[in-house]
């Protein structure tokens, strides 16, 4: 009898904490709508080419946190967010004003202004990883591991 009442109690407790909607419905709906302004969707990526107007190691007032490039393109000046790790540590982006770059990323409106969340920046022949395919900033440690793995395979980054 104790086992039966313990089982009933457990079922009652689980029914109180379980979601009201089926789990598969939550998964399907979250896959079709973005998680928010910082969401990163590979299908929305754009590639911009331009000249670096300015490299900001810290955000100016009104910008999102982290480092930024101000890029002059044929369409005007674009704010490129490099996140908090883009200019830090080994393998960090090395660029200066006046250089030509190619930037791959997703445009979002943050703090009321359009910002390109950079995934990769190409300077000359070198490509710098800024974020992964999910929009998560690439840490200096991750860049170092990627460089070591590439060296073991006889590749260069």
User: 77: part of which helix (H) or strand (E)?
Assistant: strand 76-83
pLDDT classification of 157: cutoffs 50, 70, 90: low
Q: If one looks up domain 42-152 in CATH, what number appears?
A: 2.40.50.140
DSSP 79-143: EEEEETTTTSSTT-----TT-EEEEEEEEEEETTEEEEEEEEEEETTEEEE-B-TTSPBPPHHHH
| Domain regions of the chain by residue span | 2-32, 42-152
pLDDT for 22: 36
Q: Are 80 and 49 in contact (CB under 8 A)?
A: no
pLDDT digits (tens, 9 = 90+) for 104-143: 999 999 888 899 999 999 999 999 999 999 999 999 998 8
């Amino acid at each position: 009898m104790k086992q039966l009442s313990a089982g009933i109690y457990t079922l009652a407790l689980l029914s109180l904490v379980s979601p009201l909607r089926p789990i598969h419905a939550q998964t399907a709906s979250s896959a079709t709508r973005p998680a928010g302004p910082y969401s990163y969707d590979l299908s929305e990526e754009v590639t911009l080419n331009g000249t670096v107007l300015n490299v900001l190691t810290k955000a100016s007032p009104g910008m999102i946190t982290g480092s930024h490039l101000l890029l002059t393109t044929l369409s005007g000046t674009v704010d490129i967010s490099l996140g908090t790790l883009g200019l830090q540590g080994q393998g960090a982006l090395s660029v200066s004003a006046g250089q030509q770059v190619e930037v791959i990323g997703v445009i979002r409106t943050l703090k009321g202004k359009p910002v390109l969340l950079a995934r990769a920046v190409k300077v000359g022949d070198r490509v710098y990883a800024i974020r992964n395919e999910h929009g998560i900033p690439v840490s200096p440690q991750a860049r170092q591991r990627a460089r070591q793995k590439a060296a073991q395979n006889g590749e260069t980054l």
